[in-house]
């Protein structure tokens, strides 16, 4: 297969591409606008492979997307391009509306035009796989409830509302036009190459510098944590084996309070980096509780039984094993983090600076 991946220079998208190139015989075309979270360093291991190609393009640019479909003739689309940071969506929702809603609409329309003109045998195998989030469901009231594929949508932030909108568009294009769509909703991802503004990498890097570890409120928000490489394997299984028109929830079966996550990171660093920054006697003393985020959801938890039952997928990593791999990766890849933090990743690999 030839798979077109949007947002392939991002955290999850790059994990998907590395998985496809390293673990399958398929080829990949990576479409990415290279906004602040798009980093070609994430793909250094596969960039020279003859089954990988990169095209810098904006999914909202209809002409560019039409040309890409015409030139590369994909067998499937895995749509991961999105603005995804909740805090940024609160400070400035415009980009989220534009990319997540208008961009998805543009991609759907160009995919539909392309799909309609395919010969019957290729039309039959084509898939449009839309990758979404559990945040579209809002949050859970109790301690035992889980998000299921039929849970009503109740987004709380501009980010989750824009993703909910894009989910609805995808399903509408499936029902109205017959486009062969599949939707997945995942829980919180973590792992190598995660942009440093996110919770886990932020805590690791701040701790190594002796900086405060800011935790919203009391840190009692609960998330289900999914190792990104497990997610990538699940997404590939869905696009190749999933049933058209279906939705699959993907979770890690790892519910943790944010404060538990931060303390677990501190404990790993105590073991792996006992030599602390000057003036720091323990990493946990760096924890600082800060004013909570507006509209902060309390608990997310995914029921991933459907994808396990229907497609035979379950996560390979526990939270403990995945977190250890993540911390060890950041310790071994300080240059990657430094290039993100100083901004040099933004253009150097394209010869722009």
Residue ranges of alpha helices (H) inside the chain are 11-23, 62-72, 86-91, 94-96, 104-116, 120-125, 158-177, 199-209, 228-241, 258-272, 305-311, 319-332, 334-342
* Angstrom distance (rounded) from CA 234 to CA 229: 9
Name the residue among 32, 20, 118, 104 with its Cα closest to residue 69.
118
Q: Which residues pair with 215 in a beta bridge?
A: 289
Question: Measured at the alpha carbon of residue 86, what is the angle toward residues 129 and 197, in degrees to the nearest 5?
Answer: 100
Kindly list the catalytic residues: 134-135, 159
Burial readout 299-337 (b: 16 or more C-beta within 10 A, e: otherwise) = bbbbbbebbbeebebebebebeebbbebbebbeeeeebb
């Amino acid at each position: 297969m030839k798979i077109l991946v949007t947002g392939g220079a991002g955290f999850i998208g790059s994990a998907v591409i590395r998985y496809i190139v390293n673990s399958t015989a398929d080829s990949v075309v990576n479409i990415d606008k290279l906004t602040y979270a798009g980093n070609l360093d994430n793909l250094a291991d596969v960039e020279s492979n003859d089954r990988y190609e990169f095209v810098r393009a904006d999914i909202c640019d209809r002409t560019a997307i039409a040309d890409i479909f015409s030139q590369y003739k994909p067998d499937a689309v895995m749509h991961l391009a999105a603005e995804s940071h909740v805090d940024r969506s609160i400070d400035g929702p415009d980009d989220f509306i534009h990319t997540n809603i208008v961009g998805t609409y543009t991609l759907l329309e160009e995919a539909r035009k392309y799909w309609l003109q395919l010969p019957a045998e290729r039309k039959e195998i084509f898939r449009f796989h839309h990758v979404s989030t559990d945040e579209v469901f809002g949050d859970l009231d109790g301690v035992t409830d889980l998000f299921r594929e039929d849970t009503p949508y109740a987004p709380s932030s501009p980010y989750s509302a824009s993703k909910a909108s894009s989910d609805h568009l995808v399903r509408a294009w499936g029902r109205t036009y017959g486009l062969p769509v599949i939707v997945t909703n995942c829980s919180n991802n973590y792992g190598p190459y995660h942009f440093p503004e996110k919770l886990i990498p932020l805590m690791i890097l701040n701790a190594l510098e002796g900086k405060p570890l800011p935790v919203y409120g009391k840190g009692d928000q609960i998330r289900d944590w999914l190792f990104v490489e497990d997610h990538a394997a699940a997404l590939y299984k869905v696009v190749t084996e999933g049933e058209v028109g279906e939705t699959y929830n993907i979770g890690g079966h790892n519910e943790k309070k944010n404060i538990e996550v931060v303390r677990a990171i501190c404990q790993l660093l105590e073991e792996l980096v006992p030599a602390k920054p000057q003036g720091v006697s323990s990493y946990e003393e760096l924890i600082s509780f800060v004013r909570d985020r507006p509209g902060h959801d309390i608990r997310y938890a995914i029921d991933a039984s459907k994808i396990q039952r229907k497609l035979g997928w379950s996560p390979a990593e526990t939270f403990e094993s995945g977190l250890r791999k993540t911390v060890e990766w950041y310790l071994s890849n300080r240059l990657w983090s430094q290039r993100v933090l100083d901004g040099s990743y933004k253009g150097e690999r394209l010869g722009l600076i």
